[in-house]
Structure 1
Amino acid sequence: MADPISSRLQPGVTPAAATVPVGNGRTLPRSHYLLAFFAGAANTLSFAPTPHGGWLEIVLFVFFFAWLTRTTGWKSAALTGGAFGFGNFVTGVWWLYVSMHVYGGMSAVLAGAAVALFSLYLALYPALAAGIWSFCAGHARNGALASPDDRPFAPTWHGAFAFASAWAIGEWLRGTIFTGFPWLASGYPQVDGPLAGFAPVMGVYGVGWVLALIAALLVQAWARTREPRGGSRSSGNNSNTGSSHTARIATPAIVALALIAAGPLLHLVAWTTPTNAPLNVRLLQGNVPQDMKFDEAGVVGAIREFQRMITAKPADLVVTPETAIPVLVQDVPEDFGVAVRNFADSTGTSIVFGAIGGKVTPDRRIVDYTNSLFGMTPGTRDLYRYDKHHLVPFGEFVPWGFHWFVQMMNIPLGDFNRGAPVQKPFMVHNEAISVDICYEDLFGEEIARTVRENAAPVSVLINSTNLGWFGNTIALDQHLQIARMRSLETGRPMLRATNTGTTAAIDAHGNVTGRLRPFTIGALDTTVQGMTGNTPYVTSGNNTVLAVSLILLAFGFAFGPGRPGRRGNALKSEKTATSTAPDDSRNT
């Protein structure tokens, strides 16, 4: 690990000698940014499918923050954060190349360039976080170098809280701006790490906040071990100096270890309680090849296969993947509708299936296409409908000015209407089940809002997904990890029915209780216990971590060590002390 940088004046260095503009200080070598890039790339290994990757992530964040302390101003801090982020994203979302090149028909060069450019865009957010930390920790505003070898900053309590807050704000912005892309948020590896217990309290961004704080405090403690006892001036009381030095090392380390220990303890808290009898559920995995999903033979074969799978065995609830029936609901074959309806009525099985929604105009045209889930309830002809709200850019809607990009790909159904933010749940035996489609379970705030604002108390979450666009890549395991975080945040079980994988059942504590092997055809028979009650995160969403972070950053910017008035007063005091000091040369 690199040496954290001391912000204390070194022996024999006056404040006047330290007031060299940062811009005239040392220039970091290119290897500094290259190592930051490789640390970010290594951080991808913290995410699924790596088991217990949360511990690895803590180690890498300790290195990342220590590396940030070597920077000399906001520009080098931002570049370091950006290099770390680019390494993380280009290795963590490379599977987008598969959707664009393999299934979208885009040339390999253009698809690779698109992934690289997208990763550069995502890297702007950790760069922003590092730059904000530099300002609010007093790093970039000192206007001076604090030591003769141009080392201006040391980890402090102030800097630790600034780093945690800036990091959380940066991740929240990445998950919000331009509809958001919160994939690879730093809280996700902690699903299997020591900080999972913070998820129901603060959500995934709050877990990232705690992670960043722990890393900064551990670096702070390590940096204090390298300071001389008593600083640059000798003390008359060596025992007091030694005790103070030990406390400066031990206190941040103890706080960091206490936060790590608090995670498993919080995980034991029962935020929600069981309600009603458990449901028997069948989750279907069709494994329909993506390159066949929308051609005529593939559509006919998929409908026939899912009809067979739905009617193969009764249960309280049967769920298919996203667009399992890849046609407009008005065009679903009559024999499919009759067979599934008769099966539901005769066995008492409720059924949720994915298809394309649309409205029929008076002149028989279809408009307002939607990516939807439809539900059949035994004994009634009412058809439940859920329309996807949070659409995927380029996959389900085309951002303004980017139609040329979509025309380069051969992906159908690229412009849907969106549903309402909060929609009614699907009822199964008095259990209110909240459904969402694929990409939507990346947005914990929206899931929490659905649970919080629904008239019926939601007890079970269901995600219907098709990740066939991304082939046999880490995207499947990463998405399962994301779904597990949603269970932790809400204190509710999550059921996943996917086309190619990973179809799984997750309990209210984020544990996978059953799963199907990817790229196989099958049904996962499982039992799910509905839960009632609200976690702190469901009650407040991301407001808690955002409020805490903004307050700490504002306080740091206004009163931090880099405040010009405070720096000027320090210089003035030093000059006064120098002018009033006795002239030893005269005495000599």
Structure 2
Amino acid sequence: MLLPLAALTGAVNVFAFAPYGLWPLQLLTLALLIFCVNRAESVKQAALVGWAYGFGWVAHGVYWLYISMHDFGGMPGWLAALAVALLALAMGLYTALCTGLALWLHRRWAASPLLLALAIFPALWGLTEWLRGWLFTGFPWLISGYAHTASPLAGFAPLVGVYGIGCISALIAGCLALLPQRRLPAVAALLILVAGFCLHRIDWTAPSGQPISVRLLQGNVPQEEKFDEAQIGNTLRLYADMIRAVPADLIATPETAIPILQTQLPPEFPAALIAFSQQTGSNIALGIPYIDGPNRYANSVIGISPQGNSAAHPGFRYDKQHLVPFGEFVPFGFRWFVDMMNIPLGDFTRGARVQAPFSVRDQWVLPNICYEDLFGEEIARQLGATMASGAPTATMLLNMSNIAWFGNTIALPQHLQISQMRSLETGRPMLRATNTGTTAVIDPHGNVSAQLPRYSRGTLAVSVQGYSGSTPYILFGNRLLLAAALLMLAGSWWWSRRRRQ
């Protein structure tokens, strides 16, 4: 009975995230998990409880992967459902590692329940979530910190990032788990929330240059038509018309808005865009797959600027560096799995780890493509690297996505919430141009200032102010979290040893 209850608790945790936004649930469900670990009869039982919690959490949170594999990939329904379940079981292993190891250390060190709840578990929670974010290329979707883009804990994002917020939320959950025996930790939890609220009032970055006019295009091209050869001509005409409808300092399309390689474009298409750019002074960020030679394909953004370009030699180019397993590269030994899905362009070449931003008047725009904005440390690293070298540093971020693969599901607001966290961490606005939603503008404090309705065709026209400067997270990335977690574990060991002596 305990395992189904843990799985149900993990599933309820999903309501803490977008689109529901009931962030206190994240603290309460995690407190219940800590309470169960503290009373587990064995390390094995604690690990199984954590595994069940993680399974329910991920299975409910990313069920929409079934749509991409079955509805659009053509995979048999039973196999697509099995794949989602196996992914949830695999992600649950990280939670199992946290809960099992927490109880093992608690017993081996003869640590008090107070140390387990307030130091050992929060430290391991932060470390295992960080591990989930990079091991096997990482899958940090629905990491616990994302539930807090609108909570007082959002104030900690510029310091310790999303994984640090997860660690802090586990600390608060530990305080709640101790409530039946102790009241003082509840005061500590309240003080942490107040500290986060105060930190959120700090402006880590400052306005830079003049605002630019921005037009973000949402083509709403049905996914089943996107790569249909009979529809490609219509898609090219659609985006040519949307781009040239009104001039703007920056006009951005979604990811792979142009679903064919640059070498397959009819000559009149790039010529029309280049002429429009030069005549109106508009800069265009165009999502298109790019070929550099045999078996060298990149998921790219090319920049067309008034200074002059050609389709073969664009003035700016950004190549996606963090590729999606199975969708953009084939993990070793899984070619058979990918071959069962009818998804085109499934094996790309990685872009460089640090790439230059796109110059738009006196602003600098750093693109990231779809799934890449899950990896805040990589975006922070790019900003930090350009600052350190003295090169132009991005004053705003641009996410270009196509998540029509997942239908009109909670995946869309979840992805918007992920982008909100990137703005919080970097102190910079985030522009989002998507195919079906959610196309939006996010301010440097993580607030959505404008957006288009999902699954509609339209253009979001806004004026956006760039921001410069650095947050602690840009400077140190996840190192502050790792140092704090290791200190918490070392302190727990030292205190327990001293207590025994």
Q: Which position in structure 1 is the counterpart of 2:19?
A: 49
Q: Which position in structure 1 is the counterpart of 2:345?
A: 413
Q: Which position in structure 1 is the counterpart of 2:142?
A: 184
- Considering only CA atoms, is the larger Rg found in Structure 1 or Structure 2? 1
Q: Which position in structure 2 is the counterpart of 1:109?
A: 78
Aligned partners of 1:403, 1:271: CA distance in 2, in Å?
A: 46
**Aligned counterpart for 1:447 among listed residues 367, 374, 379:** 379
Structure 2 residue 281 is the aligned partner of structure 1 residue 348 = yes
Q: Which position in structure 2 is the counterpart of 1:331?
A: 264
Q: How far off its partner does 1:339 sit? A: 1.2
Task: State whether residues 432 and 459 of structure 1, in contact with CA within 8 Å, keep that contact through their aligned partners in structure 2.
Answer: yes
Q: Number of residue pairs matched?
A: 493
Q: Which position in structure 2 is the counterpart of 1:246?
A: none
Residue 16 of structure 2 aligns to which amino acid in structure 1?
S
Q: Which position in structure 2 is the counterpart of 1:125?
A: 94
What fraction of aligned residue pairs are identical, expressed as a percent?
50
Q: How far off its partner does 1:63 sit? A: 1.9
Q: Which position in structure 1 is the counterpart of 2:298?
A: 370
How large is the RMSD of aligned CA atoms in angstroms?
1.5
Aligned partners of 1:535, 1:555: CA distance in 2, in Å?
A: 28
Task: State whether residues 69 and 154 of structure 1, in contact with CA within 8 Å, keep that contact through their aligned partners in structure 2.
Answer: no
Q: Which position in structure 2 is the counterpart of 1:388?
A: 320
SS of 2:47's partner is: helix
Residue 457 of structure 2 aligns to which amino acid in structure 1?
I
Q: Which position in structure 1 is the counterpart of 2:125?
A: 167
Task: State whether residues 320 and 353 of structure 1, in contact with CA within 8 Å, keep that contact through their aligned partners in structure 2.
Answer: yes
Q: Which moved more, 1:96-105 or 1:57-66?
A: 57-66
Aligned partners of 1:77, 1:298: CA distance in 2, in Å?
A: 54
Q: Aligned ranges for residues 12-51 of structure 1 at < 5 Å?
A: 31-51=1-21
Task: State whether residues 132 and 139 of structure 2, in contact with CA within 8 Å, keep that contact through their aligned partners in structure 1.
Answer: yes
Q: How far off its partner does 1:430 sit? A: 2.2
SS of 1:278's partner is: strand
Structure 2 residue 200 is the aligned partner of structure 1 residue 267 = yes
Q: Which position in structure 2 is the counterpart of 1:10?
A: none
Task: State whether residues 158 and 473 of structure 2, in contact with CA within 8 Å, keep that contact through their aligned partners in structure 1.
Answer: yes
Query: C-alpha deviations, 1:64-96, integer Å up to 9, x for none?
Result: 222222212321111111111111000001000
SS of 2:395's partner is: strand
Q: How far off its partner does 1:222 sit? A: 2.7
Residue 157 of structure 2 aligns to which amino acid in structure 1?
A
Q: Aligned ranges for residues 398-547 of structure 1 at < 5 Å?
A: 398-454=330-386, 455-547=391-483
Residue 379 of structure 1 aligns to which amino acid in structure 2?
Q
Q: How far off its partner does 1:289 sit? A: 0.9
Q: Which moved more, 1:118-127 or 1:373-382?
A: 373-382
SS of 1:399's partner is: coil
Query: C-alpha deviations, 1:343-391, integer Å up to 9, x for none?
Result: 111111000001111114xxxxx43111000001113225211110000
Aligned partners of 1:289, 1:438: CA distance in 2, in Å?
A: 17
Structure 2 residue 224 is the aligned partner of structure 1 residue 296 = no
Task: State whether residues 357 and 367 of structure 2, in contact with CA within 8 Å, keep that contact through their aligned partners in structure 1.
Answer: yes
Aligned partners of 1:277, 1:37: CA distance in 2, in Å?
A: 51
Residue 213 of structure 1 aligns to which amino acid in structure 2?
L
Runs of 5+ in structure 1 lacking a partner? 1-30, 143-152, 225-248, 361-365, 570-588
Aligned partners of 1:71, 1:63: CA distance in 2, in Å?
A: 12
Aligned partners of 1:379, 1:271: CA distance in 2, in Å?
A: 34
Residue 129 of structure 1 aligns to which amino acid in structure 2?
C
Aligned partners of 1:140, 1:311: CA distance in 2, in Å?
A: 67
Residue 328 of structure 1 aligns to which amino acid in structure 2?
L
SS of 1:379's partner is: coil
SS of 1:436's partner is: strand
Query: C-alpha deviations, 1:100-129, integer Å up to 9, x for none?
Result: 000000000000001000100000001111
Aligned partners of 2:93, 2:295: CA distance in 1, in Å?
A: 38
Task: State whether residues 117 and 178 of structure 2, in contact with CA within 8 Å, keep that contact through their aligned partners in structure 1.
Answer: no
Residue 64 of structure 1 aligns to which amino acid in structure 2?
L
Query: C-alpha deviations, 1:275-314, integer Å up to 9, x for none?
Result: 0011110000011111111111221111110000000001
Q: Which position in structure 2 is the counterpart of 1:572?
A: none
Q: How far off its partner does 1:194 sit? A: 2.0
Query: C-alpha deviations, 1:505-532, integer Å up to 9, x for none?
Result: 0000000011111111110001111001
Residue 180 of structure 1 aligns to which amino acid in structure 2?
G
CA 1:566–1:260: 2 relative to 1, 3 Å: closer
Query: C-alpha deviations, 1:187-243, integer Å up to 9, x for none?
Result: 00100112110111100000001100011022224323xxxxxxxxxxxxxxxxxxx
Q: Which position in structure 1 is the counterpart of 2:40?
A: 71
Runs of 5+ in structure 2 lacking a partner? none
Task: State whether residues 11 and 57 of structure 2, in contact with CA within 8 Å, keep that contact through their aligned partners in structure 1.
Answer: yes
Query: C-alpha deviations, 1:458-488, integer Å up to 9, x for none?
Result: 1000000000111111100100000000000
Q: Aligned ranges for residues 200-215 of structure 1 at < 5 Å?
A: 200-215=158-173
Query: C-alpha deviations, 1:397-422, integer Å up to 9, x for none?
Result: 00000000011111111111000011
SS of 1:530's partner is: strand
Structure 2 residue 177 is the aligned partner of structure 1 residue 219 = yes
Q: How far off its partner does 1:551 sit? A: 2.5
Residue 88 of structure 1 aligns to which amino acid in structure 2?
W
SS of 2:210's partner is: coil
Task: State whether residues 103 and 411 of structure 1, in contact with CA within 8 Å, keep that contact through their aligned partners in structure 2.
Answer: yes
Q: How far off its partner does 1:548 sit? A: 1.2
What is the TM-score of this pair, normalised by structure 2? 0.96
Task: State whether residues 73 and 140 of structure 1, in contact with CA within 8 Å, keep that contact through their aligned partners in structure 2.
Answer: no
Task: State whether residues 117 and 177 of structure 2, in contact with CA within 8 Å, keep that contact through their aligned partners in structure 1.
Answer: no
Aligned partners of 1:560, 1:74: CA distance in 2, in Å?
A: 22
What is the TM-score of this pair, normalised by structure 1? 0.82
Q: How far off its partner does 1:154 sit? A: 6.2
Task: State whether residues 117 and 175 of structure 2, in contact with CA within 8 Å, keep that contact through their aligned partners in structure 1.
Answer: no
Q: Which position in structure 2 is the counterpart of 1:139?
A: 107
Task: State whether residues 358 and 368 of structure 1, in contact with CA within 8 Å, keep that contact through their aligned partners in structure 2.
Answer: yes
Task: State whether residues 54 and 194 of structure 1, in contact with CA within 8 Å, keep that contact through their aligned partners in structure 2.
Answer: no
Aligned partners of 1:389, 1:411: CA distance in 2, in Å?
A: 20
Q: How far off its partner does 1:32 sit? A: 1.6
